[in-house]
Structure 1
Amino acid sequence: MPRRTLLLLTAALLAATLTGCADGTSSPEAAPGTGAGATPGSDTGAGTARRVSDDPAQTLHLAEQLLIKSCMEKRGYEYWVEQRPAADGAARFPYVVDDPAWAARHGYGTDLYRARQEEARRDPNQRYFRSMPADRAAALVGALNGPQPTGLSARLPNGIRVTHSDRGCEAEAERALYKDLPAWFRATRVTDSLGGMRVGLVLNDKRYKAAVAPWARCMKAKGHPYPNPAEARAAATRPDKPWPHTKEVQLASAEADCAGAGELAAVAKSLDTEYRAELRRRYPGPTSDLDRLKREALPRARAIITRGD
């Protein structure tokens, strides 16, 4: 599902139309977009980004954004095409930071997080939303997400049922691009949840825990007595006690050195591959549906981008 900055600062408003809970609705997946420095009336990034990419994921994302933009404009609203968000530090390194060059530049990625937050505040979709009176702002969110979170439903592997509107410009764009909207919703929601399951399986695997022990000894020898990577990251990234960037980089760099010097990085990668394959076998329907729907949508996406819809 696309992640739009338009939703980032509208949690209270969305609570009435789109909330996350058991047997409830799917929550908005907010992330920053491309609006840094742009103002309503401009189309930052759209002109240069509107080309077919060699990356299928980027092509699908851009096509969906163009469809949403067209739909919102037909409903009397402005909408700015947003870039596909990059993975943050936690998403890039769910088990251990193992890239020394990345760690030396970003630490655990709090600099990137702060930059995305600042971009979100300047995002033209956000600024447009905030410029509206309350009633029109609510109507805008309804136009994007649909009036009620009904019409689409999926049962996740953990038993939670998530729902979403099958109306609104997001649903209209996905229907145009992927055709079978209910199958797309189920496939994306279930496979998204499988990602979290996979990380949990790796972290609780005895082989991962065994590989953490020499990593912890290495870290202690460097003056960082943390028992596992999760606690090291948590110490450096507490929002109430932010570390200086230099100190964060030092800790993350030590973590990466110890991950490479021992077996932790290799073990984590091997287990991640193993559990990814296992979950695909356990849940073949959603994963194969997602692959098929993306594959079938690619020609349509390329045509949409070429036309500039």
Structure 2
Amino acid sequence: MPSRPWRLGCLSLVIAVGLSGCAQARPDSRPAGPPATLDTSAVDLVTHSGSWPGTEQILIDALDRFTTTCLAGQGFPRPRFPAAPRPVAPENESAVIDLPQRRASGYGIATHPRRDDPSISAEPPDSYVDSLPAPEQRRYASALLGPPDRTRTVTLPDGAQVTVREQGCVPAGRRQLAGDVATFARMSYFPEELGNRLADQATTTPDYLAALAGWRSCMAARSLRYDSPEQAQKALRSEPHRDTEQFRKREITVAVADGDCAAGAHLVAVSLAARRRLAAAMPTGDRAALAELARERDAAVMRARTILHD
């Protein structure tokens, strides 16, 4: 569970498999372009709200279908890809907070004590791939994403760079949807980076600070004194011996209280409203780039609908 449940996570897109690493943003020093007015589609994209969860699922489903057909043509008639979590609409506070999950495993710190170690893959096991002999697994990997040395470096509108695969079924599907792998990378990474900036800015707005004060009071009433949900998780992650039953119970207690208090203070809703307002005040260059990427993504969604209806 991310430190801020309504913050966009790096590579949160399931369809971004094969894009290499998190893009490291640079300060926006681009000259201002012509004024850009963000339409609803662009605001939904940068905040992952509104129409975005539905259209994101369409892109995921279309890429899965294209990839499955492509792999079958290369001798890998695999069943459906492992089901990925459906994109959660931030308008649905209870789904974002997810109290049942918190009651079961807290923030996921004790149950995965090294979850924050970047050297450990977070990918779920794939029973189909595991069933293949080792030589076929290697051939499957090449069919899926192409040779590991066939990559392309894509520069995002903010100057950050990401590396993407150029060959294989997944890159071919991205080209089918977005026109080319570079466009797919840009419309995946750049809005997410902008969205994370908005999430950080939202925490400084008067409405959010007032809601956060309510969250603190709620937590203090339970004898839990933290400045914010992020600080609560940071404090827990800094503790030693996180694999003990005592720690697990304390983590769940904090996580559930955090979720209950966040729901009572409507932190998720207040953050979303602030992010949607702040989107209109982004630097002109960022708004212009976002508006263009939203148009390209809308076109990709239309192509995805065609794939799914064929």
Alpha-carbon distance in structure 1 between the residues aligned to 2:197 and 2:128 = 33
Q: Within 5 A, what are the aligned runs for 1:288-303?
A: 288-303=291-306
Is the counterpart of residue 65 in structure 1 residue 69 in structure 2? no
Name the CA distance, whole Å, in 2 between partners of 1:293 and 1:263: 33
> Partners in 2 of 1:209 and 1:3 — Cα distance?
32
1:149 and 1:109 map into 2 onto residues whose CA distance is 42
Q: Quote the Cα distance in structure 1 between the aligned partners of 2:144 and 2:242.
A: 34
- Aligned residue for 1:27? none
In 1, distance between residues paired with 2:293 and 2:62? 17
**1:306 pairs with 2:309:** yes
Deviations 1:23-48 (A, max 9, x none): 9xxxxxxxxxxxxxxxxxxxxxxxxx
For 2:124, which of 120, 125, 141 is the aligned residue?
120
Q: Per the alignment, do residues 85 and 264 of structure 1 end up closer, same or farther by CA in structure 2, a change over 3 Å counting?
A: closer
Identify which of structures 1 and 2 has the higher relative contact order when contacts are C-alpha pairs closer than 8 Å and 6+ apart: 2
Superposed displacement of residue 175, structure 1:
1.2
Higher helix share: 1
Distance 1:107 1:167, change over 3 A: same
Q: Distance in 2 between matches of 1:106 and 1:235?
A: 20
What are the within-5 Å matches in structure 2 for residues 1-309 of structure 1?
Answer: 3=14, 19-20=20-21, 55-82=54-81, 83-86=83-86, 99=94, 103-107=98-102, 110=105, 120-121=124-125, 123-128=126-131, 131-133=132-134, 136-147=136-147, 148=149, 150-151=151-152, 153-155=154-156, 157=158, 159-205=159-205, 208-209=208-209, 211-234=211-234, 240-241=242-243, 248=251, 250-259=253-262, 261-262=264-265, 264=267, 267-279=270-282, 282-307=285-310
The normalised TM-score by structure 2 is 0.63
**Gaps spanning 5+ residues in structure 1: where?**
8-13, 24-53
C-alpha deviation, 1:124, in angstroms: 2.7
Residues 102 and 252 of structure 2 are in contact (CA less than 8 Å); yes or no, is this contact kept in structure 1?
A: yes
Q: CA deviation at 1:280?
A: 8.3
How much does 1:173 deviate?
Answer: 0.8
Deviation at 1:176, TM superposition (A): 1.5
Distance 2:171 2:151 in 1: 11
SS of 1:240 mapped into structure 2: coil
SS of the residue 1:200 aligns to: helix
Cα distance, 1:180 vs structure 2: 4.3
**Is 2:72–2:78's contact at 8 Å kept on the other side of the alignment?**
yes
- Is the 2:106–2:253 contact (alpha carbons within 8 Å) kept by the matching residues of 1? no
Three-state SS of the structure 1 residue aligned to 2:133 is coil
**SS in structure 1 of the partner of residue 143 of structure 2:** helix
Aligned with 1:57: secondary structure? helix
Q: CA 1:21–1:150 in structure 2 vs 1: closer, same or farther (change >3 Å)?
A: same
Report how many aligned residue pairs link the two structures: 256
Q: What is the TM-score of this pair, normalised by structure 1?
A: 0.63
Q: 1:21 to 1:291 in 2, by over 3 A?
A: closer
Inter-partner Cα distance in structure 1 for 2:152 and 2:307? 26
Which segment drifts farther, 191-200 or 211-220? 211-220
Relative to structure 1, the CA distance from residue 101 to residue 196 in structure 2 (aligned partners, 3 Å threshold; closer, same or farther) is: closer
